[in-house]
Amino acid sequence: YFCTRVISPTNSLPSQQATSSSQRKHEKHHHIDKECKLVGCPWRIVVHGVIVGVDPTDMCHSVALGGDFYKVAIHDIIDGNALLFRPISNIKRLIDVGIGSFVAWPKSMITF
């Protein structure tokens, strides 16, 4: 299948479930600095990286992450043509962001 929905900073993906403050603290401890793989659409690995931000108030490209995204440092790009879930002006694909930069990615599209 192909993804057709772009997520704007004010329109995030629906939460899988509500998270309390204590759950977020555990989540932060559990996922921060963890190596991960970002999944694109259609379903495939598009990036290898490390989670660097999980707090909904953390910023990525001047936009707060919100509850459904993590901030990921890009270490290796598998598919540079993969579209970003949160495009920023002329930055629409992973190749536009580049290795060593950061991207906000939906939690539901991250594997460990």
Q: What pLDDT was estimated at residue 42? A: 85
Total structural domains within the chain:
1
- Whether 2 maps to a domain, the answer reads no
- Whether 3 maps to a domain, the answer reads no
Q: What pLDDT was estimated at residue 1? A: 37
Task: Please tell me the pTM assigned to this model.
Answer: 0.77
| 112 CB burial (10 A radius; 0-12, 13-18, 19+) | exposed
Tokens standing for residue 2 = 């192909």
- For the chain, give the longest Cα–Cα distance: 38
- Whether 58 maps to a domain, the answer reads yes
**Residues 6+ positions from 77 with CB-CB distance below 8 Å:** 46, 47, 94, 95, 98, 99
- Whether 17 maps to a domain, the answer reads no
- Whether 15 maps to a domain, the answer reads no
pLDDT for 19-67, tens place per residue? Answer: 455 555 555 568 999 999 999 988 999 999 999 999 999 999 999 999 9
Q: What pLDDT was estimated at residue 27? A: 56
Q: Which domain holds residue 105?
A: 26-111
- Whether 69 maps to a domain, the answer reads yes
CATH of the domain at 36: 2.30.30
Half-sphere exposure of 87 (CA within 13 A, CB side): 12
* Residue with more model confidence, 13 or 43: 43
Backbone φ and ψ of 25, nearest 5°: -65, -45
- Whether 20 maps to a domain, the answer reads no
